[in-house]
Structures are given as structure tokens and as C-alpha cells.
């Protein structure tokens, strides 16, 4: 039985119509794709200027034929009751409502009309199909957070049942908990893994310690999809070795859906069907492919709620090989609020700091997980979990590496804990700046 499709249909999401429309978009010739994108941009902005009072007040005096005159929409601008942001004809009974995890520091309740949400799922279905994953029949092992209150817990478990998946909570990554995870894989015909990068990396380290390849334990396993957190090259190698299956990197967000997905050729293909992705500089001017800047996205089909030139909060780079129909994401550098400001005035992506430390701190497999906090311009704290405390030699190597790649004179504090704090959604935030 197609439980996934049926569950969407029962909730009023027109999945069949959305799938047909999605195919129509994909069939548009490359030579006509500019016409398609430009018409959808004009349509969605004209619609919201006419039917959405919030957006009409926000985007005053713009020229619908001059895209660069359209103001950048931020989460801060959206921090008001949802009912104030809905378009005419939409209410809580005929829309999809959800909220972001707040990992950027600004949680947001948002809405999508039902066709738009169905189109989002049509996109996921298409991309998963690249790897022969069927959301109706393929069994998913899910590494995500789960609400700890009783009603929320059972609600998520029921949703997992409809989605043909089993959820492993990421809040307990102890060896005892991971033993139970391994046992579940041994007696369940999972087809793929989906979840937070850090949790799946932890599980893979556990498998490495036991000298186990998961594919040998669960022969039906075919792939792993990591999402919501950065995937580093050495972590990907670890995952593919210990899981024994290809690893796919998914990039998306709750309010917009899928943004980019690895192809079989290893390209991070950007969703150009139902969103329009831009890379802008600090003055909100478009950058050429190959240059890093702010990721700004327009939802081309969401009539219930405007997400027009919406600043996602991430920095990224589009590949020079990109075309309008097939943009390729070269890199995501981290969130705009996750940059380290050093005493010299140098600004470094926080994940660069994390990566430099990572290259040293995990050499001997003692450290299980770690995060970095910037407390002052010259002061950073490395919080870690490990089998044994870091030695003076370990600490000296880390300090020397940080000085080599960043700058001298930085104060590094080390703090060992039994476990690391995750967000309410279960994500592990690798770098956090405490500077105002």
C-alpha cells in the first residue's frame, strides 16, 4: 500500500497534480528556461503585491520588471504573527503550517499553500528516485531528534509509520545506545539512512571501532542521505567505508524545501524547478558563478506566504559550470552569523576554524565529538567528549595548527564534557559565536 502518497492525499495535498506539473517543468527546453523563470518570478511577486498586505507594505515602490529593485526578505522582517503574513483567501484550515528549527537563532512559523507543499514533495520524490529510493516502499533508518513530551513523541512515531521509517533518537549516542541501533539494523530490512550528519558520523565511528561494515549486517541497505549539517570530505570517506553504501549530501530548509541534492555524478544539483536561487554580495548585488556570497531564495509557487528574495542565512558558491536550468552548488560555507572575528580584524568562516581543529583533534580516535565557541575576539572554547582527556601534547598541536592557519595570540580553552548540547531538533552546531 502506498501509505506515503495516501497520507498526503488525506491531508488535502494534490500530489498527483504536483507530480504532473513537476514533470512539465523538467520538460521545458534549456533555451526556454529563462522565459519560464522570469515569468514565474513576475507572477509570484505580482500575486503577493495584490493579495498579501504584509508584502505590499514591505515591498513598497518596487518595479516588478526590475528584479534588483525587489527588497531582501529576512527572518527578522517575518517576526510577527502568522495571520498577519497570510495572503487573501488563506487561513490555518487550508494551508500547511510548520516552523523552522531555530538553528540560525531565529525560529520562524511559516505557511505554504497545499499545492506548493505537494510540489515540494514531488521534488524530493524525483531526487530520491535518482538512487532508486521510493518513499512508499523503501524503508528508512532515520537519525533525527524526537520530541521528549509524550504527545509529541507519539505524533512523530505515527508520522514515521506513515513515512515507512524507523527513527533513532540522536540525543543519546552512547555506546550502549549505538549497540541497540546496530541490533535494529541486523533484524530490519532498511533500504537507506537519512539524518543529521553528526549523528551518522558518530554511528560510523562506533562501527569503525568494532570493525563492522553496516552493509554486511544489513544487506538491503543501499544508500545514506545526510542533511542539516556540514559534510566534510574525510567524514564522507568514513561514512562510505563503514556504512558500505554511497553517501548523498542533501541541502534544504523547512520553509523552502529541497535546495540542492547530490547527483550520481557527484554534482550538488540545485533545485531550479520550484525555487530561484541567487548568490548576492553584502550590498545585495548578484555575483557571478564562482564567487561566494549570501544565498537568497525565492519560492516560485508559494501563494499562501511570501518567500521572495528570502535571505536564508547561509553563504555559498555556485559552480562556474552552472546553467539556469541546472545550477550546481559548489560549496556552502556556513551561516552568516557563524563567522569568527579575529583580533587582527580578519573574518573567517567559523567552519574553517572547526575544520582546522578537526584535522588534528580526531587523529587518534579518542575524541568522539567537539564544538567550538567564540567567547571574545581572542578567546575560543573547544568543548569535547572523549574516552580520555586531551594530553598536553594534543593541546599543543591544536594550538599550533590554529596559529598556523588563522593567527597568533589566540587563547584556546578546552572543556571536556560527558555529552554535547544539541538544539531542540537534535542538531549539533559545530561553531557558535558568542560575540554580539
Per residue in 275-312, pLDDT (tens digit) is: 999 999 999 999 999 999 999 999 999 999 999 999 98
Where, residue-wise, is CATH 3.30.300.30 in the chain?
A: 339-433
Q: What tens digit of pLDDT does each residue of 354-407 get?
A: 767 776 776 556 888 888 899 999 999 999 988 889 889 889 988 988 888 788
Q: What tens digit of pLDDT does each residue of 212-251 get?
A: 999 999 999 999 999 877 888 888 999 999 999 999 999 9
Measured distance CA(426)–CA(146) in Å, rounded: 8
Measured distance CA(371)–CA(358) in Å, rounded: 10
Measured distance CA(397)–CA(67) in Å, rounded: 50
What value does the mean pLDDT take over residues 173-190? 93
- β-pairing verdict for 268-270 and 109-113: unpaired
Quick check: 353 and 380 in contact, CB under 8 A? yes
C-alpha cell at 244: 558500505
**DSSP-derived 3-state class of residue 287:** coil
What value does the mean pLDDT take over residues 181-197? 95
Q: Is the pLDDT of residue 421 over 90?
A: no
* Residue pointed to by grid coordinates 524545501: 257
Q: What residues are paired with 261 via a beta bridge?
A: 250, 269
Phi–psi pair at 31, nearest 5 degrees: -65, -20
What value does the mean pLDDT take over residues 64-71? 93
User: What is the reported pTM?
Assistant: 0.82
Positive or negative, the Cα torsion across 116, 117, 118, 119? positive
Q: What tens digit of pLDDT does each residue of 98-151 get?
A: 887 655 555 688 999 999 999 999 999 999 999 999 999 999 999 987 776 777
Helix (H) or strand (E) segment spanning residue 15: helix 15-26
* Helical H segments across 274-413, by residue range: 350-361, 392-405
**What length does the chain have?**
436
Mean pLDDT for the chain overall: 89
Question: Higher pLDDT residue, 339 or 209?
Answer: 209
C-alpha cell at 202: 558518530
- What is the rounded end-to-end Cα distance, in angstroms, of the chain? 53
Positive or negative, the Cα torsion across 389, 392, 394, 395? positive
Strand order in the sheet with 293-299: 275-280, 293-299, 310-318, 329-335
| CATH no. for 3-335 | 3.40.50.12780
- Percent of the chain beyond pLDDT 70? 93
Local structure of residue 248 (DSSP, 8 states): E
The yes/no answer on whether domain 339-433 falls in CATH 3.30.300.30 is: yes
Q: What is the pLDDT of residue 85?
A: 96
Amino acid at each position: 500500500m502506498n501509505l506515503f502518497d495516501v497520507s498526503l492525499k488525506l491531508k488535502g495535498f494534490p500530489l498527483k497534480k504536483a507530480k504532473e506539473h513537476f514533470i512539465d517543468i523538467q520538460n521545458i527546453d534549456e533555451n526556454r528556461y529563462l522565459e519560464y523563470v522570469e515569468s514565474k518570478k513576475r507572477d509570484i511577486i505580482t500575486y503577493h503585491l495584490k493579495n498579501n498586505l504584509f508584502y505590499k507594505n514591505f515591498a513598497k515602490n518596487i518595479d516588478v520588471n526590475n528584479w534588483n529593485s525587489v527588497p531582501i526578505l529576512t527572518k527578522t522582517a517575518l517576526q510577527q504573527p502568522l495571520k498577519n503574513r497570510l495572503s487573501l483567501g488563506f487561513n490555518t484550515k487550508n494551508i500547511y503550517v510548520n516552523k523552522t528549527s531555530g538553528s540560525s537563532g531565529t525560529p520562524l512559523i511559516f505557511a505554504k499553500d497545499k499545492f506548493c507543499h505537494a510540489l515540494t514533495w514531488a521534488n524530493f520524490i524525483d531526487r530520491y528516485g535518482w538512487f532508486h529510493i521510493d518513499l512508499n516502499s523503501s524503508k528508512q533508518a532515520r537519525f533525527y531528534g524526537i520530541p521528549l513530551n509524550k504527545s509529541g513523541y507519539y505524533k512523530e512515531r505515527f508520522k514515521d509509520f506513515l513515512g515507512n521509517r524507523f527513527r533513532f533518537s540522536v540525543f543519546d549516542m552512547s555506546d550502549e545506545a549505538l549497540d541497540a541501533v546496530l541490533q535494529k539494523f541486523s533484524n530490519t530490512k532498511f533500504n537507506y539512512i537519512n539524518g543529521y550528519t553528526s549523528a551518522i558520523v558518530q554511528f560510523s565511528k562506533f562501527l569503525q571501532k568494532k570493525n563492522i561494515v553496516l552493509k554486511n549486517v544489513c544487506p538491503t541497505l543501499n544508500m545514506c542521505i545526510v542533511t542539516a549539517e556540514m559534510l566534510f570530505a574525510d567524514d564522507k570517506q568514513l561514512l562510505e567505508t563503514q556504512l558500505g553504501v554511497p553517501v548523498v549530501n542533501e541541502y534544504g530548509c523547512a520553509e523552502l524545501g529541497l535546495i540542492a541534492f547530490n547527483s550520481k555524478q557527484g554534482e550538488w544539483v540545485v533545485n531550479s524547478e520550484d525555487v530561484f536561487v541567487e548568490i548576492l554580495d553584502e550590498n545585495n548585488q548578484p555575483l557571478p558563478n564562482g564567487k561566494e556570497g549570501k544565498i537568497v531564495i525565492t519560492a516560485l509557487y508559494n501563494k499562501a506566504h511570501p518567500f521572495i528574495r528570502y535571505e536564508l542565512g547561509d553563504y555559498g558558491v555556485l559552480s562556474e559550470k552552472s546553467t539556469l536550468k541546472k545550477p550546481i552548488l559548489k560549496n556552502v560555507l556556513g551561516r552568516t552569523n557563524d563567522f569568527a572575528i579575529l583580533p587582527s580584524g580578519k573574518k573567517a568562516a567559523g567552519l574553517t576554524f572547526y575544520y582546522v581543529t578537526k584535522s588534528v583533534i580526531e587523529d587518534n580516535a579518542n575524541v568522539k565529538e567537539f564544538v567550538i565557541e567564540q567567547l571574545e575576539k581572542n578567546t575560543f572554547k573547544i568543548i569535547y567528549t572523549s574516552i580520555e582527556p586531551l594530553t598536553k601534547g594534543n593541546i599543543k598541536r591544536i594550538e599550533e595548527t590554529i596559529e598556523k592557519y588563522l593567527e597568533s595570540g589566540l587563547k584556546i580553552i578546552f572543556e571536556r564534557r560527558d555529552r554535547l548540547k544539541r538544539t531542540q531538533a537534535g542538531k549539533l552546531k559545530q561553531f557558535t559565536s558568542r560575540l554580539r
